[in-house]
Structure 1
């Protein structure tokens, strides 16, 4: 699955994890990020404001507050504000993430 140009023409998000690229839709209080994640292994544990996401393609294991769940196409997830979480990517993964903060990622 490839994102259409209406997404890839959006500003690129400056995401600090190797193998992760994203396109940013900015709101006054939140950000929506269309992510494309290589099968890079893992994103280490971290925390931030609340996050809601949906998996569009691929498979990943998401650990939220010590509880792990394998997710695939069509699955959704919610990470409450400040809860530590990490992810392992088993394939190329595409997700849409909404962050409850206006400046989660800057523009690249």
Structure 2
């Protein structure tokens, strides 16, 4: 993994996200979460839906199909997934982002 994130982010609890090749750090708030993620391998995301999600691509590329419409996002791009909207995609090795989930319990800290 790169040294993209500074020490305060790396000091956050590691998020328990069931995807291969991910390293993720969890900032937990009372009513939402912010996840800092890096991927060391390609990952296919099956179609799913959840509470609203907003992300900023820090490195690499992610392809998302949002409500049937394909999109490709790279460094500097932002994306938004409205609550309940079905989406799927592909995350490419080297991808990193900061993602806001409008849901306090989307992920848990690793134990």
Instruction: Normalising by structure 1, report the TM-score.
Output: 0.93
Which residue of the partner structure matches residue 68 of structure 2?
66
Alpha-carbon separation, structure 2, partners of 1:12 and 1:91: 19
Which residue of the partner structure matches residue 53 of structure 1?
55
Alpha-carbon separation, structure 1, partners of 2:10 and 2:43: 24
Residue 46 of structure 1 deviates from its aligned partner by 1.3
Question: Where does the alignment leave 5 or more consecutive residues of structure 2 unmatched?
Answer: none
Q: 4+ residue runs of structure 1 moved beyond 3 angstroms?
A: none
1:18 matches 2:26: no
Alpha-carbon separation, structure 1, partners of 2:41 and 2:20: 10
Alpha-carbon separation, structure 1, partners of 2:55 and 2:91: 15
SS of residue matched to 2:30: coil
Count of residues paired in the alignment: 108
SS of residue matched to 1:74: coil
RMSD, aligned CA:
1.2
Moved more, 22-31 or 33-42: 33-42
Is residue 31–residue 104 contact of structure 1 (8 Å, CA) maintained in 2? yes
SS of residue matched to 2:41: coil
Cα offsets for 1:28-87 (capped at 9, x unmatched): 100000011223231211111000000000011111111111110000000010111122
Is residue 60–residue 91 contact of structure 1 (8 Å, CA) maintained in 2? no
Question: Where does the alignment leave 5 or more consecutive residues of structure 1 unmatched?
Answer: none
Which residue of the partner structure matches residue 44 of structure 2?
42
